[in-house]
Amino acid sequence: MNVNTRKLTKLLRDYGTMRGKLVSNKSNLDDILKEIKEYTFPNVVGEVSNKRIRKFGEGSKQIALIDFGCKENIIKSLVDRDCTVTAFPQDISAESIIEGNFDGILLSNGPGNPEDCKIAIENIKKLYKTDIPIMGICLGHQLMALATGATTAKLKYGHRGPNHPVKELKTGRIFITSQNHGYYVKEDSINKDIAEVSYVNVNDGTIEGLDYKNKNIFTIQFHPEACPGPQDCAHLFDRFLEMCSD
């Protein structure tokens, strides 16, 4: 009650992303500040990724989903499109997935700095070399970029909210998207022979999507599964599944 969200937003806007804590009593402020300063969250992806292999739906397409902290609606969006989704823990080996003979792979969203996901990056390098279609969302998008030689950096205060306009460069069309990320793929680090930019953010021009050359791979920084947020880009799941049918 009575959180001045506007003041908080301005603080973040001016000073960038920072740690914080919601408290009801300010009397021991020094202790709170100490706690905030010392707070770390190592292996955040490992913490939020489900440790078990889970199966969803009974559709005709077999999709492997690597769960880096996956939003439920990604799974639902696939299941609703006639897929059987097998969700794997984030540290699953590339070999296990390749052996599974899936029609496509979805690299899910997830929290934290993508560079910390060392195992996943190594696995994705291997998956990239196969012919299996891959779609990456958010963290999945960043990890694919890192796996193919690009680099990532941290935004001052991230893109967060259900109202981020992105431009599809091929058509010039704008879509309003749901976003929630603190890192981005640096444009000058992209090897033009490997990938080309498909979407950019209208507000700050950062990369919002990549199409991989001579591969059935595309990744996006925003959340086409929405929930919350606009579903204007839900058609990207169809694009992915078309790749999976080829």
Partner 1 sequence: MPKNEKIKKVLVIGSGPIIIGQAAEFDYAGTQACVELKKEGLEVVLVNSNPATIMTDKNMADKIYIEPLTVKTVKKIIEKENPDSILPNLGGQTGLNIAMELAESGYLQEKGVKLLGTSPEGIKNAEDRQAFKDMMESINEPCIASKVVTDLQSGLEFAREIGLPVIIRPAYTLGGTGGGIAYTEAQFNEICESGLRLSRVHQVLVEKCISGWKEIEYEVIRDSKGNCITVCNMENIDPVGVHTGDSIVVAPSQTLSDKEYQMLRSSAIKIISALKIEGGCNVQFALNPNSFEYAVIEVNPRVSRSSALASKATGYPIAKVAAKIAIGYTLDEIKNAVTGKTYACFEPVLDYVVVKIPKWPFSKFLTADRNLGTQMKATGEVMAIAPTLEAGLMKAIRSLEENIDSLILPKLSIYSNEEIREELKKVNNERIWVIAENLRRGMTIEQIHEITKIDKFFISKINNLVNIEKELQSSKLDADSIRKAKKYGYTDKVISNLTKARIEDIRKIREDNNIVANFKMVDTCAAEFEATTPYYYSSYDEDNEADKKTDKQKVVVLGSGPIRIGQGIEFDYCSVHAVWALKKKGFETIIVNNNPETVSTDFDIADKLYFEPLTPEDVENIINVEKPYGAIVQFGGQTAIKLTKALKEMGVKILGTSEENMDRAEDRELFDQVLNNCNITRPQGGTVYTVAEAKEVANRLGYPVLVRPSYVLGGQGMAIAYDDSDIEKLIEEINKIAQEHPILVDKYIMGKEIEVDAICDGEDVLIPGIMELLERTGVHSGDSISVYPTQNVNKESADKIVEYTKLLAKELNIIGMMNIQFILQNNEVYIIEVNPRSSRTVPYISKVTNLPVIDIATRVIFGEKLKDMKYGTGVYKRSEYVAIKMPVFSFEKIKNADTSLGPEMKSTGEVLGVAKNFTDAIVKAFIASGVNIPQEGNILITVRDKDKQEVLPLAKKLYNRGFKIYATKGTSAFLKQNGIETNVLEKIWEGAESIPNLVEAGKINFIINTPTKGKESSRDGFKIRRLAVECKIPCFTSLDTANALYDAIEDTKTEEEIEVVDITEV
Min dist. Cβ of residue 222 to partner 1 (A): 13
Active-site residue among 70, 83, 117, 138? 138
Annotation says 235 is catalytic: no
Three-state secondary-structure class, residue 235: helix
CB 68 within 8 A of CB 45: yes
* Distance from C-alpha of 167 to C-alpha of 146, rounded to nearest angstrom: 23
Residue 29 interacting with partner 1 (CB under 8 A): no
Active-site residue among 83, 141, 225, 233? 225
Phi and psi at residue 87, in whole multiples of 5°?
Answer: -95, 125
* Distance from C-alpha of 66 to C-alpha of 108, rounded to nearest angstrom: 6
Our CB check for partner 1 shows the closer of 42 and 172 to be 172
Min dist. Cβ of residue 166 to partner 1 (A): 10
* Distance from C-alpha of 99 to C-alpha of 122, rounded to nearest angstrom: 17
| Burial class of residue 74 in the structure, from the number of CB atoms within 10 Å of its CB (0-12 exposed, 13-18 middle, 19+ buried) | buried
Residue 169 interacting with partner 1 (CB under 8 A): no
Stretch that binds partner 1, among 21-29, 87-95, 163-171, 238-246 (CB under 8 A): 163-171
Site string for partner 1, 137-156 (x = CB under 8 A): --------------------
Residue 17 interacting with partner 1 (CB under 8 A): no
Annotation says 70 is catalytic: no
Stretch that binds partner 1, among 5-13, 59-67, 102-110, 123-131 (CB under 8 A): 5-13
Residue from 120, 139, 229, 241 in contact with partner 1 (CB under 8 A):
229
* Distance from C-alpha of 237 to C-alpha of 91, rounded to nearest angstrom: 24
Phi and psi at residue 136, in whole multiples of 5°?
Answer: -120, 140
Distance in Å from the first CA to the final CA of the chain: 53
Our CB check for partner 1 shows the closer of 216 and 231 to be 231
Annotation says 141 is catalytic: no
Residues that bind partner 1 (CB under 8 A): 4-7, 9-10, 13, 161-165, 167, 172-174, 176, 202-203, 226-232
